[in-house]
Amino acid sequence: MLLYNSQTSVPVFINLLRTILAHASSKVADVEALFKLASIPQLQEIAIRNLEAASTMRHQGFEPHISELFDLVYSEAPEKARLSGLVIIANLCIKEAMRSKILEVGGFETLIAIIRGEGVLFKKVEAQRTAAKGLSNLVATRRELRLKAITD
């Protein structure tokens, strides 16, 4: 007979979810579920890592969470999680359908600020390089934004 004990069951459940996420394919990952799991501190790192992998292959499901990603980048989360959030944004900038939403939440200005090194995380070359990749993709089809990016 299996007895439920909340003190021992929660860590077991967390470890089970970690194992599932570690072996999950990013092609079939449920973006909405991963964002919910990322709000659980014990699962945040692995959920964000799965979101990062999923963002390289597809863009469906990310649109409602664009502002959350920018919030993550500027949050008090661990540096790895914040950098992963920035990588996800840069990956999403590739898709035309995502560009308008990213611009709508102030993505252009944020990426420029990161490239300039504003903020502790953003003094790191890796973050600046990722932001430059995102900005390059974001302005790829918009001449007026390319000119603004060059002058800023």
**Cβ count within 10 A of residue 36:** 12
- Name the one residue in this structure whose structure tokens are 């898709």: 95
Residue pair 121/79 in contact by the 8 Å Cβ criterion: yes
Provide CB contacts within 8 A for 119, sequence distance 6+. Answer: 74, 113
Q: Per residue of the chain (152 residues), what is the pLDDT tens digit?
A: 344 455 555 666 666 666 666 666 555 568 888 888 888 888 888 889 889 988 988 778 899 999 999 999 988 888 899 999 999 999 999 988 899 899 999 999 999 999 988 876 667 889 999 999 999 989 877 666 665 666 66
Q: According to the model, what pLDDT value does residue 39 have?
A: 86
Distances (CA, A) of 43 to 18, 33, 40, 68, 72: 7, 12, 5, 17, 15
